[in-house]
Amino acid sequence: MGIRASGKPIVFLTVMLAAVLLIGAYVVSGRIEAKDVDMHEVAGHWEGAINVLGQELIIMVDFTVEGDELSGTIDIPQQGAFGAPLANIQYESSKIHFELPVPNARADFDGVLEGHEISGKFLQSGIEGTFTLTRDVRDAGASDPAEGAGGEEEPLEVGRVEEIVLETPTGKIYGTLQLPETDAKCPVVLIHAGSGPTDRDGNSPLLPGKNDSLKMIAQGLAEAGIASLRFDKRGIAKSVGAAASEADLRLDHYIEDVIGWIELLKDDGRFSAVVVLGHSEGSLISMASVNKSSGVSGVISVAGAGKPVYEVLEEQLANQPKEIRDESMAIMEELKQGRTVANVSPELMMLFRPSVQPYMMSWFKYDPRVEIANLEVPVLILQGTTDLQVSVENAELLAEANPGARLRIIANMNHILKEAPLDPQANVATYSDPELPLAPGFLQEIISFVKECCADVCSVCGL
């Protein structure tokens, strides 16, 4: 779902580069012989952007050392490219060169490593620009022993943290298990992030800066004696290797992943109960997952849609020009019938590009009102009044579908769970402030719900 500004989704304000970075078939492998013994200095996950022709294109790069070889991949979410192999990777004396081997339009990156940043020049088809990448210090490839060495997470302020991995048929999914400072059994909350390339902490490379909203939930729970697990979805951040391509991704894959995490947590003797929390798109995924599993003690929906996604998209398209609305409605009708659409206008390519259509078809099959009505465990519905993406009406629809659910409306809370006004510019500004705390009262509702719905199995927890 796109962030709204002046009544229009930002997704339609994104100008695509017509001739730059056109992703085609990849014809060579990204695995290249390492150029010197210091190649571990660049190993790890990097996030940043290309700036060219006055536009910014978000990129994520992963460099991996395998024996005597250095390989790499690049994600370009705005163009639907994930896990594209890099070629001719050269690193020597802090200088790095790598290429994206697009047929007849090779893209060259020449940069310099300084600390946790790589910056330099970008060139493709005679068009020059710049790029900047910042290392994710949680990654095992971080070269500073105090920041991620040995595969450990960056130290957090509250409790203890462990890196945890879910093995799936297509690759590993990485998460952070945050534990309170106690050896007693405690409940654990499984946190699912929202749509798009949102990572385990609640941050997205499509937005400037960080907000750390999901990380703050985990820290607040640890302070209250409650454990949590948050993770990078398949294809996102450190879990990029678990998704082969965008065209192969389905909503059901996310549901299967949550079920896998639930089983992993249930088998962990440190936890007395499992509660599943889903934010935004994660609300629907969490509810559907719990309906297909057992042994969960409660479900928390945070800023979740109360309608099928195609109804939400219809509302978001209401202020668009008639030709955009008409084409969008026609495309969605085809998708609802299980048919893809090959010809999509450039203005709608970000939303309905052919590679994402199979995912949308799988998403269209689920109605959050049906999923929440089928839940047989306690349910908490949380929604903010200044959320520019999901209205209070959605929370009310969910509560209507499950009359036994607890509905709590948080005054002045926006979509990233921070206190914010309704003014779009001021509201979106909070998306880039990791120092801004969670909205007052929000975390307290979660803690109270977890303690109540887990009370019958948490007599040893001291909660």
The pLDDT tens digits along the chain (463 residues) read: 333 333 333 222 222 222 233 233 333 333 333 334 467 788 889 998 888 766 677 888 999 887 777 789 988 866 656 778 888 898 888 899 999 886 556 889 999 999 889 999 998 866 788 999 998 755 444 434 333 333 344 444 567 899 999 999 989 999 999 999 888 899 999 999 998 789 999 998 767 678 999 999 999 999 999 999 999 999 888 888 887 677 888 999 999 999 999 999 999 999 999 999 999 999 999 999 999 999 999 999 999 999 999 998 888 788 888 999 999 999 999 999 999 999 998 878 878 888 889 999 999 999 999 999 999 999 999 999 999 889 999 999 999 999 999 999 999 999 999 999 999 889 988 988 999 999 999 999 999 999 998 877 654 455 5
Q: Which residue from 190, 188, 212 is spatially nearest to 201, judged by alpha carbons?
A: 212
Q: 409: which residues sit within 8 A by CB, 6+ positions away?
A: 383, 384, 385, 392, 395
Same domain, 120 and 161: no
H/E stretch holding 86: none
For residues 414, 419, 423, 426, the Cα torsion angle rounded to the nearest 10 degrees is: -110
Range of the domain at 14: 4-135
Is 240 inside a domain boundary? Answer: yes
> Which residue carries 């970000």 as its tokens?
350
Same domain, 212 and 277: yes
Same domain, 120 and 165: no
Same domain, 183 and 111: no
C-beta contacts of 110-119 below 8 A and 24+ residues apart = 113/41, 113/42, 116/142, 116/144, 116/147, 118/42, 118/46, 118/48
Taken in order 376, 378, 384, 385, the sign of the CA dihedral is positive
Q: 164: which residues sit within 8 A by CB, 6+ positions away?
A: 174, 175, 176, 177, 229, 231, 264
CB 187 within 8 A of CB 226: yes
> Which residue carries 């440190």 as its tokens?
270
Is 104 inside a domain boundary? Answer: yes
Going through 55-170 in order, the beta strands assigned E by DSSP cover 55-66, 69-76, 81-85, 87-92, 95-100, 107-114, 117-124, 127-135, 160-168
Give, in order, the Cα–Cα distances in Å from 257 to each of 172, 173, 241, 288, 423. 10, 8, 14, 12, 37
Q: 208: which residues sit within 8 A by CB, 6+ positions away?
A: 431, 432
Same domain, 185 and 288: yes
DSSP strand pairing (271-279 vs 186-192):
parallel
Q: 115: which residues sit within 8 A by CB, 6+ positions away?
A: none
**CATH number of the CATH domain containing 217:** 3.40.50.1820
**CATH number of the CATH domain containing 76:** 2.40.128.120
Query: On the CB side of 383, how many CA atoms lie within 13 Å of its CA?
Result: 22
Same domain, 36 and 111: yes
Helix axes of 309-316 and 357-364: crossing angle, nearest 10 degrees:
110
Structurally, how many domains does the chain consist of? Answer: 2
Which residues lie across from 99 on neighbouring strands? 87, 108
